[in-house]
Chains A and B, each alone.
Chain A
């Protein structure tokens, strides 16, 4: 199975900060990578698909980049409502696999 490794596992940042979360795949997954946001007690929500396409309704401060094995989720100007856990998911090859998650807290 393809392993997905996220870093960091947790981070703390201030409102207005630029935040970056990285996801590394154990093999080439082209651009078949999505980013999901999950708040406590809620279902995950799709933010980014195909590595860099922003899902409808997602604020423009969220962006994604990368291809192959290295991917990045960037929040350009952190807002209080962005406090959540973020997961990457490769849907290039089954079994689909998630990263372990990155918990983002607001200082």
Chain B
């Protein structure tokens, strides 16, 4: 069974940092691109960042470029989102999502971890 388990969410002050982790199991992690999608309270879904299967190529939404860094460890089957200079509008549930290509789809989602940016 495919499982994605996020951790690391919590309350952080504006300008602070937080590190989200996603532990994957049930599939060959190193052959899939991975993504982070977030959802602010009561709002819609927003793609945040993605990383290729090899980990060589990261991608970011403009809203987080320069502040967030995505990385992965294909030996330990984890993907990490390092978040810096956090702002109030980063408050959201962050989902770890597997991307399957050809044809493309976001076919497995974690349960999400809540990040709250507030003083």
Is B111 interfacial (CB 8 A cutoff)? Answer: yes
Q: CA separation between A32 and B110, bound complex, in Å? A: 22
Is B104 interfacial (CB 8 A cutoff)? Answer: yes
Is A95 interfacial (CB 8 A cutoff)? Answer: yes
Supposing A44-B109, A100-B44 touch, asked if A49 and B59 sit within 8 A by C-beta, the answer is no
B76-119 vs A, Cβ < 8 Å mask (1 yes, 0 no): 00000000000000000001000100011111011110000000
Q: Which residue of A1, A31, A32, A46 is within 8 Å of B107 (Cβ)?
A: A46
* SS class, residues of chain B in contact with chain A: strand
Is B1 interfacial (CB 8 A cutoff)? Answer: no
- Asked if A89 and B106 make an inter-chain contact with CB atoms under 8 angstroms apart, the answer reads yes
Supposing A43-B95, A43-B112 touch, asked if A91 and B107 sit within 8 A by C-beta, the answer is no
Q: Which residue of A1, A87, A95 is within 8 Å of B44 (Cβ)?
A: A87
Classify chain B's interface size.
Answer: 20 to 34
- Asked if B106 and A91 make an inter-chain contact with CB atoms under 8 angstroms apart, the answer reads yes
- In the bound complex, residues from chain A placing their C-beta under 8 Å from that of B95 are 43-44
Supposing A46-B106, A49-B103, A89-B106 touch, asked if A94 and B59 sit within 8 A by C-beta, the answer is yes
Classify chain A's interface size.
Answer: 20 to 34
- Asked if B105 and A34 make an inter-chain contact with CB atoms under 8 angstroms apart, the answer reads yes
Is B11 interfacial (CB 8 A cutoff)? Answer: no
A39: min CB distance to chain B, Å: 12
List the interface of chain B (C-beta within 8 A of A): 35, 37, 44-47, 50, 59, 61-62, 95, 99, 103-107, 109-112
Closest to A44 in B: B109
Q: CA separation between A91 and B61, bound complex, in Å? A: 13
- In the bound complex, residues from chain A placing their C-beta under 8 Å from that of B44 are 87, 98-101
- In the bound complex, residues from chain A placing their C-beta under 8 Å from that of B111 are 43
- Asked if B47 and A50 make an inter-chain contact with CB atoms under 8 angstroms apart, the answer reads no
Supposing A49-B107, A53-B103 touch, asked if A94 and B50 sit within 8 A by C-beta, the answer is yes
